[in-house]
Each structure stands twice: as structure tokens, then as C-alpha cells.
Amino acid sequence: MWRRPGAAHPSPPLTIPQAGDLLAEASREPAEVCRRAIEAVLRAGADARHPELGRPLFAFRLHQFLSKGDTVYVSFEPPGGRHLTSQYQTRVPDHLDKPLVPLHFCRDCGKEYLVVTRPDELEGERFEAREDPDAPASEGDGFLYVSDDRPWPDEHDQDAVLRRLPASWVETDDDGQSSVLKARAGDLPEEVWIGPDGRITESGTGLRAWWVGAPFRFCLHCRTSYEQLRLKDLAKLGTFSAEGRSSAVSLISSRIVRSLRAQPELKKKARKLLTFVDNRQDASLQAGHFNDFALVTQVRGALYRALDTAGERGLTFDRLPQAVFDALCLPMEAYARVPGANFHQRDLAHLHCVNCSLTVSTPTWSAAGVSPCPICPGQVFCASSTPTWPRSPPLPSAGRAAIPCSPATRPPIASSWLATSSTKCAALSL
């Protein structure tokens, strides 16, 4: 408490390190010793119990505030020598002539992009940070691609440029010559050289980068493309602090519950977590998300266990559901309305649980880097002696004409087509 004439007010809250520093200044003892002494007093007071009520004689409450972080900010300098910070700033400390811009990252490969704008009043000769990087893009907004290990090819090397572009951006004429679609010719990356102040400089000086206007159409590093331009850039690029609030609460809550269960000195009724929300809609949303989180975690853990148990033999597609169900080790009460069911009813309940055991949510297996399970009909088709590829589905830039394709070249083509299809389906689902 601190007092003034005629009034008494509580002192402002302090963290333990802050209180330790004040105690060290008053006692002339090392700050670390004072912090440990404060922690010991608090723990001793909490451990001492009232003989009749069983409550702590000196209860204390520690508050931990959790909040989302910020994104990463960098200067217009080459990688390795640029200024990096995760705290919002507009200029490099002690270098007010060097602006800072935020970074967004490709959700598929993680490559970073500088989120900038080219103001019209400066005739596009200077790059600046956007006022709100998460807001919908406006005229002059775009991204800068910087890479030393995978730079964008020179515009005069047409073959190299075509190899880096998405397949949907390239067309092939009757003579077999490939070129960029006319509708995409104006969207190609533009090479620029930028000084530390954000102004465009002469070629060969400053930071070498490639400018692409918004909306974000494809990743220059991994070639992931987005055909639906109405899809928000937030679904294509993420920030360093991007997270779902429901997912964050689920992860933190599950960690707290596991920590409480690991403390045998706590009574069973005390091992619980209470959350407070200001409306029922948020409460029901969070409860549903937590249930889905628990279900997906169990299924993915069972999938890992099933694959680990199978060892080198692996699992075929038809054996995978049963193997996952066996790895779950669920009691009958967990999935059957009538736990004591026998014979046919028991088999039906078992079959229903097996069919539901493969329910997974985003990210997809391909996005997580997990190889898809081989599908027997696809293997049979790839090994078929049929000399041509079927008319449906068509390959890119091939129309619907049958294409000669030997069995040896079919597996990689089929894998590429399936990967492309799954990527487009994932974009549609977002």
C-alpha cells in the first residue's frame, strides 16, 4: 500500500523480477538472490494450510497474460546484413533513413516476401511499407521477392522463366513452342534494385529483388499457384504471428490440463480449467473446436502408431482403417450406443467406428509432407499395356486428345496430376 494524506491506494502490480530488483536495491543483495527469496516466501505461504479449513494461509495469485506476437520487420538490405526485428517499428534504430517493412511467408514452402506499396505520388520510384498489411490490397500494393539461393531467372532466358512459371501460365502452339499466356504477360515478376532508403537505384547497386503486384498469384520459390484471384492473400501468405485464436486456446488449455494431471498433490476436483467468455456463441464455438482438436489429435496419433507397428511392411489402403482403429484401443463404451451389444450389432458399431476413424482436418497430408498411400487401381492403370493416356482427365495444355504414354512414365505424371489437383481443391476449401 502507498498512502497520501486522507487516502490509501493499492500499489501497482509488479512482476517477480521487478520486485526482486527493488528488494536488491534496498538490501544491496544480488537481484537473483532477492528473486529467489520472494518466490520461496510465496511458495511457503501457499503450502501452509489452515488446520480446519484446509485453505492456504497466505494465498497468492499469479497472472500470466498471453497475447499474439507481431510479424517480422526487415530493412531494404541483402539477407545476412539486413536489420530484423519482431517488434513493430517504422525505422531501423539509429538509422532513421532506413525504413522497415513487414514480411509475409508462403504457406506452402515458407519463403518470405516483403509487403510493400509503390505510391503514385512518387511515380513508383520508391517502395514503402503498407499501412495495413492484412487489409485487402489496393492500387500500387504488391510484394518483393528476395533470394540468393533461388533467384528469378533473367527475362531474356525464356526457357528458364517458363520452367519456373506455373503450368497454367504457359501455352503450347501447334508447333510445340511454349510461351506465356497473353493474359499473364503483364503479371510476370519485374527485377528491381532498391537502396536502403527504399528508392529504386541503378542496376547492380543495393538490394536485388523482384516485384509482383497484388493480388498474390503464385510463389516464385515453389511455384504454388492460385487461380482464384478473389481468394484473399491471407489464405496464401501467412505472418510470423499468424494463428487461429481457437487453436491457440485449445493448445494452451490442453497443456494446462496435462500439467494439472501431472501434480498428484492436487485433489482430483481441483485439476480443472475454467474459462470465461462474454457470450454463449463464443463458448459453444470454442467447445466444438476443442472437441475437434482432441479427435484429430487422437486419430493422427493412432495413424502414427499404426504405421510404426506395421514397420517395413507398411499398410495398404484397404488395411489402413482397421489398423488405425486397432491403434486407438477404444473401449466399446466410447463408440457404441449399447456397450453390451453382441454379434451383428457389435459388428455394425465396429464398422461405423472404423469408417469414422479416418476423419482428419486441414492441413492435408500433402501439405504436411506425408506421402499418400498407394491406391491399387491407380497402380494397375499405370502398369497397363494401354498405349495412350485416357481422354479424361486432360493434361495441362493438351486439350482432350489422347497422348502416347508408356507405363514407365505414367507414375510420375499421375503423381504430379494428383498433387496439382489436391492443391487446387485445398485452395477452393479455403
**Rounded (5°) CA angle 239-420-179:** 95
pLDDT at residue 246 greater than cutoff 50: yes
**DSSP strand E in 182-269: where?**
190-194, 207-213, 237-238
- Asked which of 14-18, 216-220, 322-326, 394-398 is least confident by mean pLDDT, the reply is 394-398
For residues 183 and 191, is the Cβ–Cβ distance under 8 A? no
For residues 218 and 226, is the Cβ–Cβ distance under 8 A? yes
Q: What band does 244 get if pLDDT is binned at 50, 70 and 90?
A: low
Position of cell 518466490? 39
Tell me what the pLDDT averaged over the chain comes to.
Answer: 79
Q: Report how many helices (DSSP H) and strands (DSSP E) the chain contains, helices first.
A: 9, 16
Which grid coordinates are listed for 219? 510463389
pLDDT at residue 242 greater than cutoff 60: yes
The domain segmentation of the chain, as residue ranges, is 14-63, 73-152+189-238, 371-430
pLDDT at residue 139 greater than cutoff 60: yes
Q: What is the mean predicted confidence (pLDDT) over 240-250? A: 71
Most confident of 12-21, 143-152, 331-340, 414-423: 143-152
Q: What is the pLDDT, as a whole number, of residue 362?
A: 40
More confident residue, 22 or 269: 22
Q: What is the pLDDT, as a whole number, of residue 395?
A: 45
Q: What is the pLDDT, as a whole number, of residue 365?
A: 47
318-357, pLDDT tens digit by residue?
888 888 888 888 887 777 777 776 655 555 555 565 555 4
86-124, pLDDT tens digit by residue?
888 899 998 999 999 999 999 889 999 999 999 887 777
More confident residue, 328 or 430: 328
Q: Residue 34: helix, strand or coil by DSSP?
A: helix
54-91, pLDDT tens digit by residue?
777 776 665 666 666 778 999 999 998 899 998 888 99
Give the closest residue to 273 by CA, choosing from 290, 256, 293, 285: 256
Q: What is the pLDDT, as a whole number, of residue 13?
A: 77
Q: What is the pLDDT, as a whole number, of residue 393?
A: 46
Question: Exposed/middle/buried for 20, CB within 10 Å: 0-12, 13-18, 19+?
Answer: buried
Give the closest residue to 218 by CA, choosing from 171, 183, 166: 166
pLDDT at residue 299 greater than cutoff 90: no
Q: What band does 424 get if pLDDT is binned at 50, 70 and 90?
A: very low
Q: What is the pLDDT, as a whole number, of residue 190?
A: 94
Q: What is the pLDDT, as a whole number, of residue 264?
A: 84
pLDDT at residue 36 greater than cutoff 60: yes
- Asked which of 140-154, 194-208, 388-402 is least confident by mean pLDDT, the reply is 388-402
Q: Residue 191: helix, strand or coil by DSSP?
A: strand
Q: Residue 4: helix, strand or coil by DSSP?
A: strand
pLDDT at residue 192 greater than cutoff 50: yes
161-185, pLDDT tens digit by residue?
999 999 899 999 888 889 999 989 8
Q: What is the dihedral of CA 179, 181, 185, 191, to 10 degrees?
A: -50
Q: What is the mean predicted confidence (pLDDT) over 15-22? A: 89
42-59, pLDDT tens digit by residue?
888 888 888 888 777 776
- The alpha carbon dihedral of 29, 33, 35, 38 has a sign of negative
pLDDT at residue 373 greater than cutoff 90: no
Q: What is the mean predicted confidence (pLDDT) over 129-155? A: 89
pLDDT at residue 375 greater than cutoff 50: no
Q: What is the mean predicted confidence (pLDDT) over 269-279? A: 81
